[in-house]
Amino acid sequence: MSAIERRTDPTSLALRRISEQECARFRNRNLRQPGRGRRVHRVELRDWYGGLKFPTPACHQPLDSRAVAGTPEAVTEPVDCARCLAGNPDPFTPLVALDGGQLHLALEPGDA
């Protein structure tokens, strides 16, 4: 548990709520930033404020700075970002489960 998770001031509670909401929204999902023709990225949880986690593109592409949360789309479409695929060529591998207990199914294209 990080130090911010033990705090009860309004700012810490708001940051924790945003972190939990965004991590839940991208659980087993890929990420697409808004706009036409945007690539689908693999999601990676990175350290954020006070040791909290925040989902970001695995290729380290910056998120839209105009909005911290809610702007990127959580999608189930396969990853098509070349930089994300260079790190892991499986376009269907979703974000690792936060609880660590459930493994994802390894679905191959063409599986019924």
In the chain, helix, strand, coil percent, each to 5? 25, 15, 60
pLDDT the model gives residue 67? 58
For the chain, helix (H) and strand (E) counts, in that order, are: 3, 5
d(CA 100, CA 79) in angstroms, rounded, equals: 22
Q: What does the pLDDT look like over 89-108, one tens digit per residue?
A: 666 555 544 454 454 555 55
Query: Higher model confidence: residue 67 or residue 79?
Result: 79
Between 95 and 79, whose confidence is greater?
Answer: 79
pLDDT at 29: 92
d(CA 14, CA 10): 6
Could you tell me the two tokens for 86? Answer: 């260079």
What is the pLDDT, as a whole number, of residue 64?
A: 61
Residue 107's pLDDT is 54
Does the pLDDT value for residue 1 go beyond 60?
no
In total, the chain counts a number of residues equal to: 112
Q: How confident is the model at residue 93, as a pLDDT?
A: 54
Structure tokens at 6: 């033990």
What is the spatial distance between Cα 93 and Cα 104, in angstroms, rounded to a whole number?
8
Instruction: Give the C-alpha separation, 48 to 46, whole Å.
Output: 6
Q: What is the pLDDT of residues 6-50, one digit of tens each?
A: 677 888 888 889 889 999 999 999 998 877 778 899 999 888 888
Q: Where are the domains of the chain?
A: 3-87
Which residues lie across from 5 on neighbouring strands? none
